[in-house]
Amino acid sequence: MAKFSHYIKKYLTQTRWLYTLMLWTLLLSSSLLFLPASIINQLGLSGLQQSQQHFIGLSLLISAAYFLAKLCDHLLDAGIEHYSEKRINAVIDEKINFFDAYERALLREFFLQSSPILSLPMDNLAVQSLTKAHIIECIGNEQHFAIQSATADYKITLQARRKLNRKILRLPEGTPNELELQRLIKSRPAFINNLSSTRKQVA
């Protein structure tokens, strides 16, 4: 790990050095080629400009090509990120339209417990399905128990959070009445109680 960190630092240092070199090369070569002759003469660089004109032109081409490649790379990354974001949103929209009762019940737990993070069983089918559809994401803290499957912390993704609401999750508006409360309790995922019992036993 230390060797990898050292390699990354070395690479970043070299990249910054190359960027600075190319920037100065672009500025100096373009100045020598495009500044008015009167200014070049005042600076005493007319002789250098005449004798090294081909080298200066080549330096300008190389430095300009470097920054053009940087720009293309940035635009390509932005395009890939935009496409990826668009594809994720499409997958989320499709999944939201076809939630089953168990998946809705699982997502309701984030609202019922008023918690942005829940510990969920990693091998649960609903958990895996929602993770694959970018509705929830694992943020670590894996725990392994002898009496049940492994758990990890999950949260609703930022993209899904913008789209989920009470209507989609079939949560009552405002404070639920007794009948609505009983319905919500009855529909809670079975593993919620199992996790609570396991934590008490571990504690």
pLDDT higher than 50, residue 203: no
Domain residue ranges of the chain, discontinuous segments joined by +: 1-97, 99-192
Q: In terms of DSSP bridges, do strands 117-121 and 136-143 run parallel, antiparallel, or are they unpaired?
A: unpaired
Amino acid sitting at position 177: N
Q: What is the pLDDT of residue 200?
A: 43
pLDDT digits (tens, 9 = 90+) for 160-197: 999 999 899 988 887 778 888 888 888 888 877 665 54
**pTM of model > 0.85:** no
The topology under which CATH files domain 99-192 is Arc Repressor Mutant, subunit A (1.10.10)
Q: What is the pLDDT of residue 14?
A: 66
More confident residue, 138 or 33: 138
Q: Residue 152 in contact with residue 140, Cβ under 8 Å? A: yes
Q: What is the pLDDT of residue 187?
A: 85
pLDDT digits (tens, 9 = 90+) for 117-162: 999 999 999 999 999 999 999 998 888 876 677 889 999 999 999 9
More confident residue, 77 or 197: 77
> Which residues, 6+ apart, have CB-to-CB distance to 85 below 8 Å?
159
More confident residue, 149 or 84: 84
Q: What is the pLDDT of residue 9?
A: 61
Q: Is 134 left (phi over 0), alpha (psi -120 to 50) or beta?
A: left
Rounded Cα gap, residues 94 and 201, in angstroms: 40
pLDDT digits (tens, 9 = 90+) for 14-27: 678 888 888 888 88
